[in-house]
Amino acid sequence: MAVSTPALSLERISKHFGALKAVEQVSMQIQQGERRAVIGPNGAGKTTLFHVVSGVLPPTAGAIHVFGNDVTRLPTHRRIRLGMARTFQITNLFRRLTVEHNVYLALQGLTPTKWQMFRPQGSVKELVQQADRLLEEWNLEDRRHALVTELSYGEQRALEIMLAVCQKPKLLLLDEPTAGLSPAETATAAETIRRLPRDISMLLIEHDMDVVFDLCDTMTVMHLGEVLATGDPASVRGNPQVQEIYLGEAIEA
């Protein structure tokens, strides 16, 4: 039986800033369709690892493969072409544009019309129809004419995830998708992520353990830049070293 190529493979990835070893010898494989969480205390190296995986930062050592392609030295846009998309801890949106305009620009970026700088927004009928469908599916239709600055933080999070997904990624990196959200907004964000197609492989950083246990198949725990433990949620929850790091608080059932 043929074995599918991992969606993401990290081989002994390190990232140093002078004497600071932010990430050290991290190896990981995310299988196609897998949903993996990376957890750990502040300063564990999680976001630095995400920056290296997505191409924002170059690794000091190691190799990165996306669906079998060596992307270790490729810029972010080349990784996106291979099917990678990501969100950030702080929303990365065109804040002075409307919701509708943000969606249209994201869709336009996937077509040859992205080079037609002076073509009026809405002049491509197919893109307008796609934008309409997305806004309806993601419950943002009533906010289509609102500026991003007028949205609640939860709405901005939903919009950012939607824009990442509309790129039709095969590998989605979610960096703290529920950070700063109220309990109600967190529940909505988690449901939004849960209903994403299962053929999208997912790697997410998340502090809310209820969200992690609800959404993810496997977990990797980082501490001081290194991988401490990897496994299914139940085995990670019961790991004595993980419990010691979190003092039994963050991983309670």
Instruction: Give the model confidence (pLDDT) of 116-168 as tens digits.
Output: 444 455 556 788 888 888 888 888 889 999 999 998 888 888 888 888 888 78
For residues 196 and 179, membership in a common domain is answered with yes
Domain C-terminal end among 119, 152, 167: 167
For residues 32 and 109, membership in a common domain is answered with no
**What residues form DSSP beta bridges with 147?**
98
- Answer yes or no: is pLDDT of 110 > 90: no
For residues 195 and 146, membership in a common domain is answered with no
193-252 pLDDT, tens digit per residue, is: 898 889 999 999 988 888 999 999 999 999 999 999 999 998 998 899 888 887 455 444
For residues 149 and 199, membership in a common domain is answered with no
For residues 137 and 149, membership in a common domain is answered with yes
Tell me if 90 is assigned to some domain: no
31-43 pLDDT, tens digit per residue, is: 999 999 999 988 8
For residues 181 and 141, membership in a common domain is answered with no
Q: What pLDDT is attached to residue 114?
A: 45
For residues 66 and 34, membership in a common domain is answered with yes
Tell me if 144 is assigned to some domain: yes
For residues 139 and 203, membership in a common domain is answered with no
Q: What pLDDT is attached to residue 74?
A: 95
For residues 157 and 180, membership in a common domain is answered with no
**How many independent structural domains does the chain possess?**
2
Answer for the pair 181, 210: CB distance below 8 angstroms, yes or no.
no
Domain containing 59: what range? 1-83+169-253
Compute CA distances 17 → 23, 61, 228, whole Å.
Answer: 10, 12, 21
Report pTM.
Answer: 0.82
CATH number of the domain that 15 lies in? 3.40.50.300
Domain C-terminal end among 139, 167, 195: 167
Tell me if 91 is assigned to some domain: no
pLDDT tier at 91, thresholds 50, 70, 90: low
Q: What pLDDT is attached to residue 59?
A: 98
Domain C-terminal end among 135, 167, 199: 167
Tell me if 129 is assigned to some domain: yes
Tell me if 195 is assigned to some domain: yes
User: How far from chain centre, in Å, is Cα 110?
Assistant: 19
35-84 pLDDT, tens digit per residue, is: 999 999 888 999 999 999 999 999 999 999 999 999 999 999 899 889 99
pLDDT tier at 111, thresholds 50, 70, 90: low
4-27 pLDDT, tens digit per residue, is: 899 999 999 999 999 999 999 999
Q: What pLDDT is attached to residue 188?
A: 84
For residues 174 and 253, membership in a common domain is answered with yes
Q: What pLDDT is attached to residue 82?
A: 92
For residues 176 and 72, membership in a common domain is answered with yes
For residues 115 and 222, membership in a common domain is answered with no
